[in-house]
Amino acid sequence: MSTLAIGYSGQGFGMDLYGYFRTGTGSTSHGGTQQCFQLPGADSKYRLGNECEQYGEFGLRQEFAKFEDGSSLEFSVMPGLQARYGRDFVFHGETGYARLMEGYVQYKNVGALAGGSVWAGKRYYKRNQIDITDYYYWNPSGTGFGVEDVNYAGLKWSYAFFRRDTPFQHTSVTRHDVNVSGIPTNADGAVDIGFSYVPRTDAVKDGGWSVFAQHKQQSFLGGVNTVVAEYGEGAGTGLGAVATASTSRADRIWLALDNLNWEFSQSWSGSVSALYKKTKRADGTASDWTSFGVRPVYSFSEHFKFIVELGVDRVKTSDKDARLTKLTVAPTWSPNGRALNARPELRLYYTYARWNKDAQSLADQINPQTALSSTGSFGENTHGSNVGVQLEYWWP
């Protein structure tokens, strides 16, 4: 019979804190509140000096039961807060939001699962992201339950059942997610594979599915290089998440990307990303989103960096060829050292962006009053700039 210990233990009552926080302020060249530059039809934007909200996620993880076989029970909870620049800190309505981002129980290191775990609740799950754009190209997170990271045949196998993807999804939709990770390919290289299936139900018109594969090469130029290919159809065009309940099964999405985080030396580090996404809809419309960005970082000393970020986005439709180029320079104080991901960072920045008339026309149609639209802060101009300061921190 196994022994169970319940209660607080160790420093900080056995609690682990984790989370993310950014805050700042900025102004346009016209003197108004900072406006962010994002091309309509692009799923993300290059984020350095181009984020227009205060945002925080504050997580608490508590191990409340431990068994003599090494398995344990823990509970995680994480609220999230967002408030837009230029608004009061009210966290609701047009001003921002307050949401529970995570709240789940996990039974870890289960012997019968070869060290895997069982979980239930609402959580971030198997997320994959490009940091310089904050783009989650495969994100099966949600509310549900699952069996995670079961060790079998040298691989890690996971299955999850979800009923809701995000705090903003109002309709419950069934989604099945399967993930296999750690498939060896070469020295320091491995492949992960994911499959998402949305069955046809009363809540989903046609159902759908998506598949994802990525190769991660560790120790490449001192960092990690990731190559990704994805395909989705119908409700699976959300690529890991559910698209919309009314999506036609004839809808298709293809995505390919390469993302490299490098650390050449103590002084030089950075990121570069290239992405292509093609969308075809049942009504005959189609679009192509192409994106390229680079963020070199030079560390002058143990605590001072100079960061530059250049990002180019293009969205092509049958009648539009929208383009946006954005450049940011940011002298940065880094109290925790030179590393690319050392945080916190306190940045002063200047951002300049230029776009074409097709981008302005798309913004007028899709996102009026935003930076690129003719009714936004820059009017009929097809260029603009911001200056500001930002603090970013994540932990542990």
**pLDDT tens string 215-230:** 999 999 999 999 999 9
The closest alpha carbon to 225, from 255, 188, 254, 194, belongs to 188
Q: Is the pLDDT of residue 245 over 90?
A: no
The closest alpha carbon to 394, from 345, 339, 347, belongs to 345
Which range is most confident: 3-12, 165-174, 236-245? Answer: 236-245
pLDDT of residue 13: 46
pLDDT of residue 244: 78
pLDDT of residue 58: 98
Instruction: Give the pLDDT band of residue 57 (cuts 50, 70, 90).
Output: very high
For residue 372, the enclosing domain spans 16-395
Measured CA angle at 21 (ends 15, 23), to 5 deg:
150
Q: Are strands 96-110 and 223-234 parallel, antiparallel or unpaired?
A: unpaired
Q: Is the pLDDT of residue 259 over 60?
A: yes
pLDDT of residue 5: 43
The closest alpha carbon to 54, from 18, 4, 91, 19, belongs to 91
What's the burial of 321, exposed, middle or buried (CB within 10 Å: 0-12/13-18/19+)? middle
Three-state secondary structure call for residue 52: coil
pLDDT of residue 4: 45
Q: Is the pLDDT of residue 281 over 80?
A: yes
- Looking at residues 284-307, what average pLDDT do you find? 98
Instruction: Give the pLDDT band of residue 54 (cuts 50, 70, 90).
Output: very high
Interval 92-142: pLDDT, tens: 777 789 999 999 999 999 999 999 999 999 999 999 999 999 999 999 999
- Looking at residues 193-199, what average pLDDT do you find? 97
The closest alpha carbon to 282, from 254, 323, 312, 252, belongs to 252
Residue 347 token pair: 């940045």
Q: Is the pLDDT of residue 254 over 80?
A: yes
Three-state secondary structure call for residue 111: helix
Domain assignment present for residue 2? The answer is: no
Instruction: Give the pLDDT band of residue 2 (cuts 50, 70, 90).
Output: very low
pLDDT of residue 202: 84
pLDDT of residue 168: 76
Q: Is the pLDDT of residue 87 over 90?
A: no
Domain assignment present for residue 308? The answer is: yes
**DSSP state letters, 312-368:** EEEEE-SS-EEEEEEEEEEEEE-TT-SSTT-S-EEEEEEEEEEE-HHHHHHHHHHST
Instruction: Give the pLDDT band of residue 12 (cuts 50, 70, 90).
Output: very low
Burial 348-358 (b: 16+ CB within 10 A, else e): ebbbbbbbbeb
Identify the residue with better confidence: 5 or 52. Answer: 52
Q: Is the pLDDT of residue 30 over 90?
A: no
Domain assignment present for residue 4? The answer is: no
pLDDT of residue 396: 92
Interval 327-378: pLDDT, tens: 999 999 999 999 999 999 999 999 999 999 999 999 999 999 999 999 999 9
* Structural domain total, the chain: 1
Q: Is the pLDDT of residue 3 over 60?
A: no
Domain assignment present for residue 3? The answer is: no
- Looking at residues 301-314, what average pLDDT do you find? 99
CATH of the domain at 244: 2.40.170.10
pLDDT of residue 88: 73
pLDDT of residue 267: 98
Q: Is the pLDDT of residue 188 over 50?
A: yes
pLDDT of residue 170: 77
